[in-house]
Amino acid sequence: MTDHNHDCGHDHDHDHVHDEEEFDTVILTDDEGHDHEFLHLDTLELDGSTYFVLLPITGEEESEDEDEDTDEAIILKLGHDADGNEMLLDIEDDDEWEKVADAWENMEEDE
């Protein structure tokens, strides 16, 4: 139900900074019930776990001061809630986060 091409479906936009047309869009809902839109950059399988690399999509209405820190990719781990439904979780362990970040960087360099 998400409009994937609201900003990017034009052929003349191939030099667009993020090349948004190459990535799926993911909508995540935070604990307060607010929806946040992300570009799904990559999926990693590491040590039996699945991780998603996501880039926040910021709206045009945000101030320029906030834009400095918003282009950083985040890594979330695929987990399950008490009912067995899939959900994305923050990586709480710093060593685990570093391992996944390093694996993703190495994967990006190999392409």
Residue 67 maps to a domain: yes
Residue 11 maps to a domain: no
- 22 has pLDDT over 80: no
Identify the sign of the CA torsion 26, 27, 30, 35: positive
Confidence band of 11 (pLDDT split at 50, 70, 90): very low
pLDDT at 58: 78
- Residue 75 lies in domain: 18-91
Which residues, in sequence order, are CB contacts of 62 under 8 Å at separation 6+?
70
Residue 76 maps to a domain: yes
How far apart (Å, rounded) are the C-alpha atoms in residues 91 and 75? Answer: 7
Residue 87 maps to a domain: yes
How many domains does the chain fold into? 1
pLDDT at 30: 83
pLDDT tens column, 35-70? 999 999 999 999 999 999 999 997 655 444 444 444
pLDDT at 72: 85
Residue 2 maps to a domain: no
Residue 6 maps to a domain: no
Residue 96 maps to a domain: no
